[in-house]
Amino acid sequence: MARTRTRPDPEPRRPRTVLLVLLLAAVALISIDLTGAGSPARTVAGAALGPLESGANRLLSPFGVDAFATRDDLRDKNAQLEAENARLRGMVASSDVDRTRLAEYDALASYATSADIETVTAHVVGVGSAQTFRRTVTIDAGTTRGVRRDMTVIGPDGLVGRVISASPTNAVVLLLVDADSVVGARLGAEHELGMLRGDGSLSGTGRLQLEALDRTAVPKVGDTIVSWGSRDGVPYIAGVPIGRVEKVVESPRDETAAVTVAPYVDFSALDTVAVVVGERSGS
Amino acid sequence: MAARRAALVVGVLVAAVIVQVSVLAPLVPTAVVPDVVLVVVVAVGLCSGSTDGAWAGFVGGLLLDVAPPADHLLGRWALAMAIAGFLAGTVDRGSRPSWLSDAATIGATAFVGLSVFALTGLLLGEPGVTLAAALPVVGLAVVYDVVLGLAIVPAVRTLLARAEPAPRVRW
């Protein structure tokens, strides 16, 4: 053993005691946090480490390594979507039956540009890894810009998630796809109510599971899902597009249907998001 | 651990947290991200023994527990990484390091560390943690960590040697 050490220890140390003490300390921390007393530590750490994360992310972008999505990509996508939108609009307008749905699509399309809500624009600067089994991101806007807990976060495509904690310069957003995230939803033209749950998968295959409150109201594939909204817009404001019904598996025996929703937002390529800091005047 | 070395290790750990959360997480296409902090902790354990490894693991894990996108209970990474750092330190390093033993150590300790983290989540009933979901994630992460570790362990070894040059021993 002595031959293997290049540097003899000045005093004999007891690694096992050290480990035991550290493990007990960690267990103590866990139990302290279980009581809910750990949030000040997170706020302090957010204030100290958040700007570093923003800085590291800013350093990345001049090199063209805009990690989340390049502007050209977004522009292409935008043009593509506009074309598709125009095509859909033409298709829908030609059919009388679907005129109501056109109005809905119009509302959705104008949603992002509507001036009714006051938003703060922010960039995603940090992403929680899958090893932690939570789907959270850090954004570079905090309490100094009016971002607080339980505020709705939207992206150019639709609902992204909600703020779960905020430090002066940064905030943590719980994404819709998180397994613990539940959001009330309205589906289709009938405005049936339901609950959407994430499946914890961040990649393009991430889907949301819909649970309709009225079990007889089975949505159709292609129906649009928008957020239900709650009183005072906490934590989600109403009417934000969330996704499209992708698959409906009906179970005739107990009259229920497993509804899979494909979210509009590409959660693995989040870049610019907007935090809704002011209430919507309408609806 | 001398004060200077301790400060150096803490500095490296902070940098590792930032790199892991802000640089690698968005760059890597899969949601699983290389655990830079874990690899640094294992490297410290490999280079300076289990006491230092456990300490580095505790501090690094704590940083990861409080760094912004984290939302799990405080102390879970600290617990997992203290064990990983300690284990890495108990490996008989032999007179000269070989990349093969480094890779094996990183793989084994990363697996233990990630599993301990997942298990604490399971025990504490944290949302999203199931055994079925954990296994592929841990497997992929271990592969990433071994690849990353082969670059980081020599770097940490050089850094620690430079911070406190080992006295030359003449036999």
* ipTM for the assembly: 0.77
Which of A56, A68, A133 is opposite residue B133, by nearest beta carbon? A133
d(C-alpha A161, C-alpha A173), whole Å: 6
Q: Please, which residues have CB within 8 angstroms of residue A58's CB and are 6 or more apart in sequence?
A: A125
| Minimum Cα–Cα distance from A180: chain B residue | B127
* Nearest Cα residue to A124 out of A279, A276, A283, A272: A272
CB contact under 8 A, A49 and B74: no
A136: chain B residues, CB-CB within 8 Å: 69-71
CB contact under 8 A, A172 and B62: no
B73: chain A residues, CB-CB within 8 Å: 30, 33-34, 38
pLDDT of residue A231: 63
pLDDT at A4 > cutoff 60: no
CB contact under 8 A, A19 and B54: yes
Instruction: Please tell me the pTM assigned to this model.
Output: 0.63
A200: chain B residues, CB-CB within 8 Å: 128, 133
| Minimum Cα–Cα distance from A19: chain B residue | B54
pLDDT at A108 > cutoff 70: no
pLDDT at A215 > cutoff 70: no
Given a cut of 70, the residues of chain B with pLDDT beneath it are 1, 26-31, 93-95, 128, 164-171
Q: Which of A34-43, A63-72, A98-107, B143-152 has the largest mean confidence?
A: B143-152
Report strand pairing: A136-139 vs A208-212. Answer: unpaired
Which of A4, A32, A170 is opposite residue B95, by nearest beta carbon? A4
B79: chain A residues, CB-CB within 8 Å: 23, 26-27, 30
* Nearest Cα residue to B90 out of B71, B67, B108, B72: B108
Q: Which residue has the higher pLDDT, B80 or A264?
A: B80
| A27's tokens | 């267990």
How far away is chain B from the Cα of A149, in angstroms, using its nearest Cα? Answer: 13
d(C-alpha A173, C-alpha A126), whole Å: 10
- The whole-chain average pLDDT of chain A stands at 74
Kindly tell me the sign of the dihedral angle through the C-alpha atoms of A16, A27, A136, A43: negative
How far away is chain B from the Cα of A177, in angstroms, using its nearest Cα? Answer: 11
* Nearest Cα residue to B74 out of B64, B83, B82: B64
**If you average pLDDT over residues A26-52, what whole number do you get?**
82
pLDDT of residue A134: 76
> Using one digit for the tens of pLDDT, what is the confidence trace for A226-263?
887 766 666 777 777 788 888 887 776 766 677 888 88
**If you average pLDDT over residues A62-86, what whole number do you get?**
67
Which of A127, A174, A200 is opposite residue B26, by nearest beta carbon? A127
Beta-carbon neighbour count of residue A28 at 10 Å? 12
pLDDT of residue A159: 84
